[in-house]
Structure 1
Amino acid sequence: MSRPGTYAVDVRDGRVGQIMGRVGGYVQLRPPGGGREWDCPPEALRPAPPGDVLRARVRERNREGRLP
């Protein structure tokens, strides 16, 4: 489930992220559209449904449009 390039949900806070790799005992996730990576324990991940990925991408695009 934790293949790089796939999307997952961090069940601790509901964030959707693209799996970038593993460091130590954690999986590194990056928000759709880029941004700062965060670490998540593998047991706190679940596959991201396509609708969740789409919503996360739209939020990122909207946020980019509001930046000066």
Structure 2
Amino acid sequence: MLGVLALKKWNATVLPTPTSHYNVFHSLSLCLTFSLWLLLTFYCSNRRTIAISVVENAMYSHQCNNVN
């Protein structure tokens, strides 16, 4: 869904438009959409990585406590 939206925005940016202001607005909108998508992607992947490391640390400390 997001890819289709970005593709439509990209087509609107590449195709010639009556006014340059309209073209600039669309390119800014595309840039903003892409930046937001990247931010969300990295944020979600980092959260998943942090959650996995927290769980691994908890399991490791639990094992160490059992050994001692």
Q: Which has the larger radius of gyration?
A: 2
TM-score range, shorter chain: 0.3 to 0.5
TM-score by length of 2: 0.34
Bigger share in helix: 2
Higher relative contact order (CA 8 A, sep 6+): 1
TM-score by length of 1: 0.34
